[in-house]
């Protein structure tokens, strides 16, 4: 067993659920198994996009973020379903419970993937044996497939889990880099996006091996400190620990939504901004934080995207305040072209308990009056379960964003 558990090294797993949303739907309704299935936001509308798809659909070229009309063109028999967020959240919680039965050192990084440090699990068998048991349990108990990467660090484990899907278990050691990792195109490296890939290719970096051996000063000139970090990863170096508490680390809270139709209508735009700010307020309240910086994202009909932010003199957290800043940013930076997508993000966050608002003679009376209103609404909301005044000023909320935030990723610990 000693060959699997080195005295100075670590053994890290990356567990990655395969086609998660689609797999959950198939587990819930077995009649969907073996059929081309896509989960898409707003499938009834022209702006719907594919969130994920089954492997049967992928054989036809259906991909994540593909417009639904294009996916249906590629696969006429495609079955399309709306996301069922609560169903996916429940499945995720049960999956992470299974991981936590092996070790407390579990770090969720999204709804369908997480890291495990099994360095001290020698009494449970070899790493491949542990991985096989995890994979078997998730499949037998939840009817969900997953792939697992086994490596001495998080980066290599992540790369390994992508090498065989679905239901793969892949071991990637540092001595395997030259023949398993380095031949891959640079864009397949975790941490290299489209723009970074373009910059690296301008340096004649085509593969991960090219990155691993390129002069680091050239990389830093183009990518800054991230250039050196990426090169270290390409050489199999990654000292990041598996941190179960990392799920609580966050730098911003935001949400976005694609509009049903490109629009220039002020009332519709304001209504969307209201909904987004309500979402941000709710998540800030859950986290007990305040913000001092608001960012607005506008994406136009031609996909051109602009982001603008405003640093504030005081911390804020209420939807009305968020909305006023977001609306001012929109009025100042909108170019009058049809809007496709809007997003609102709160950053420069601080815990509410640690912030003492400095009220001066000019804002004290206004702030105090609003606090009475806010408190009354909060009391009624707590009593009746939802904001009873929200429908007065805005339409009922629709689905906002198809992405998951990390707020719930430690729910599996709470039972």
Report if residue 203 sits inside a domain. Answer: yes
Residue 381 pLDDT class (50, 70, 90 cuts): low
Q: What is the four-CA torsion angle of 388, 286, 312, 371, rounded to 10 degrees? A: 40
Sign of CA dihedral 269, 274, 275, 280: positive
258 shares a domain with 227:
no
Q: 112 among the known binding-site residues?
A: yes
- pLDDT over threshold 90, residue 385: no
Task: Assess whether 144 and 28 both reside in one domain.
Answer: yes
113 has catalytic annotation: yes
- Mark whether 125 and 200 lie in a shared domain: no
Quick one: 127 and 219 in the same domain?
Answer: no
Q: How many CB atoms lie within 10 A of CB 29?
A: 11
Say which of 113, 141, 206, 397 is annotated catalytic: 113
Res 331 pLDDT > 70:
yes
Mean pLDDT over 148-177 rounds to 96
**pLDDT over 50 (residue 396):** no
Cβ burial, residue 310 (10 Å; 0-12/13-18/19+):
middle
Give the pLDDT band (50/70/90) at residue 358. Answer: very low
| Separation between Cα atoms, residue 253 and residue 24, nearest integer Å | 27
Residue 405 to residue 282: CA distance in whole angstroms: 13
Residues 206 and 129 in one domain: no
Q: Is residue 227 part of a domain?
A: yes
**In this structure, are 408 and 274 located in the same domain?**
yes
**Rg of the chain on CA atoms, in Å:** 24
Domain final residue, candidates 234, 259, 280? 234
pLDDT of residue 85: 86
For residue 375, name the pLDDT band (cuts at 50, 70, 90). low
The whole-model pTM stands at 0.68
Structural domain boundaries enclosing 44: 13-148
CATH of the domain at 196: 1.10.150.20
| Lowest-confidence region among 43-47, 99-103, 145-149 | 43-47
Q: Are residues 216 and 299 in the same domain?
A: no
Model confidence over 345-354: pLDDT tens digits? 998 887 776 5
pLDDT at 60 exceeding the cut of 90: yes
**Which CATH number goes with the domain that contains 360?**
3.30.1490.100
Q: Which of 128, 148, 168 is the last residue of a domain?
A: 148
pLDDT at 217 over 90: yes
Secondary structure letter of residue 354 according to DSSP: G
Instruction: Using a pLDDT cut of 90, give the percent of the chain over it.
Output: 65
Q: Using the structure block, give the residue that is written with the tokens 């506008």.
A: 298
156 in any annotated domain: no
Rounded-to-integer distance, Cα 371 and Cα 352, Å: 15
Does residue 257 fall inside a structural domain? yes
Number of structural domains found in the chain: 3
Share of the chain above pLDDT 70, in %: 83
**Position 18 pLDDT exceeds 60:** yes
Residue 2 forms part of a structural domain = no
pLDDT value of position 354: 58
Quick check: is 84 in a domain? yes
**φ, ψ of residue 181 in degrees (nearest 5):** -100, -50
Structure tokens at 144: 């969900």
Cβ-count burial of 295 within 10 angstroms (0-12 exposed, 13-18 middle, 19+ buried)? buried
pLDDT over 90 (residue 33): yes
CA–CA dist 369, 382 (Å, integer): 20
Q: Does some domain include residue 170? A: no
Confidence class for position 376, pLDDT limits 50, 70, 90: low
Domain membership of residue 229 (yes or no) is yes
For residues 406 and 346, state if they share a domain: yes
**Does 101 score more than 80 pLDDT?**
yes
| Same domain for 283 and 139 | no
Residues 53 and 185 in one domain: no
What CATH number does the domain containing 90 carry? 3.40.1170.60
- The domain boundary, picked from 102, 130, 148, lies at 148
Do 114 and 63 lie in one domain? The reply is yes
Using alpha carbons, list the distances in angstroms from residue 362 to 102, 318, 369. 58, 19, 13
Q: Averaged over 149-177, what is the pLDDT?
A: 96
- Is 16 among the annotated ligand-binding positions? yes
pLDDT given at position 10: 94
**371 shares a domain with 256:** yes
Summarised one tens digit per residue, pLDDT across range 285-322 is: 888 888 989 999 999 988 888 999 999 888 899 999 99
């Amino acid at each position: 067993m000693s060959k699997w558990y080195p005295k100075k090294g670590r053994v890290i797993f990356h567990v990655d659920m395969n086609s998660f949303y689609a797999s959950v739907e198939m587990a819930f309704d077995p009649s969907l198994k073996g059929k081309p299935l896509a989960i898409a936001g707003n499938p009834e509308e022209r702006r719907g996009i594919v969130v994920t798809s089954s492997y049967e659909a992928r054989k036809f070229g259906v991909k994540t973020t593909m417009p639904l009309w294009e996916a249906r063109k590629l696969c006429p028999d495609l079955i399309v379903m709306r996301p069922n967020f609560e169903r996916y959240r429940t499945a995720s919680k049960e999956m992470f419970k299974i991981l936590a039965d092996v070790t407390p050192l579990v770090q969720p990084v999204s709804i369908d993937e997480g890291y495990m440090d099994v360095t001290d699990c020698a009494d449970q068998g070899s790493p491949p044996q542990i991985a096989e048991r995890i994979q078997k349990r998730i499949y037998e108990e939840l009817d969900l497939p997953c792939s697992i990467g086994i490596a001495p660090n998080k980066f290599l484990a992540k790369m390994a889990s992508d090498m065989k899907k679905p239901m793969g278990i892949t071991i990637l050691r540092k001595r395997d880099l030259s023949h398993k990792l380095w031949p891959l195109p640079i864009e397949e490296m975790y941490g290299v996006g489209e723009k970074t890939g373009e910059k690296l290719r301008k340096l004649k970096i085509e593969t991960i091996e090219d990155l691993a051996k390129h002069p680091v000063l050239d990389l830093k000139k183009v990518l800054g400190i991230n250039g050196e970090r990426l090169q270290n990863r390409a050489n199999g170096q990654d000292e990041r620990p598996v941190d179960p508490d990392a799920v609580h680390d966050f730098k911003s809270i935001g949400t976005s939504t694609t509009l049903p139709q490109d629009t220039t209508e002020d009332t519709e735009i304001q209504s969307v901004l209201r909904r987004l700010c309500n979402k941000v307020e709710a998540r800030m309240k859950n986290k007990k934080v305040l913000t001092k910086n608001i960012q607005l994202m506008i994406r136009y009909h031609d996909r051109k995207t602009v982001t603008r932010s405003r640093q504030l003199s005081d911390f804020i957290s209420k939807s009305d305040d968020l909305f006023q800043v977001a609306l001012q940013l929109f009025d100042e930076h909108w170019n009058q072209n049809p809007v496709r997508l809007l997003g609102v993000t709160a950053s420069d966050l601080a815990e509410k308990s640690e912030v003492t608002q400095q009220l001066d003679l000019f804002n004290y009376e206004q702030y105090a009056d609003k606090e009475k209103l806010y408190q009354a609404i909060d009391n009624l909301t707590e009593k009746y379960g939802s904001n009873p005044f929200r429908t007065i000023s805005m339409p009922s909320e629709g689905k906002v964003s198809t992405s998951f935030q990390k707020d719930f990723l430690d729910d599996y610990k709470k039972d």
